[in-house]
Amino acid sequence: SALKPADDSPFVNEVFAPEFTDLIYNQEGAERERLVREYHNTNYSVVDIDLIERIYGIFYRQKVSGVPRHAFRSLRSVEKATAGAEGIELALRNTANGELSVQRYDLVILATGYERQL
């Protein structure tokens, strides 16, 4: 899946004002859940646009140079991780088709996301 940018525009950021957070907190179940979903892209599971552009630039330059040093492994779940002398071996399950693959890496960053439970 793609990195999604945070909506940090001035009007949307008003959701962080004390009056608005109190309003959401004081709502009953269904309405509170609706409001949280509506403003989910303000800071949950999103990335600042400048960081997205920097990451994209890195991937673009490595594509142009023909030297792939970094990779996204989206739609994958880690079944097993083993550290060894030759790097980190990951058993990855493709969540779209169930296929299992094993890959070796020098460095692994698990950007697993964040899910808020109310």
pTM of the full predicted structure?
0.60
Residue ranges per structural domain of the chain:
1-67, 73-110
From CA 59, how far away is CA 93, in angstroms rounded?
23
Per-residue pLDDT of the chain (118 residues; tens, 9 = 90+): 678 888 878 887 788 889 988 998 899 989 999 988 888 777 767 788 999 999 999 999 999 999 988 888 888 889 999 999 999 999 999 999 999 999 999 998 877 666 656 5
CA distances from 6 to 1, 37, 43, 105 (A): 15, 14, 6, 30
Q: Measuring CA to CA, which residue among 102, 100, 98 is closest to residue 90?
A: 102
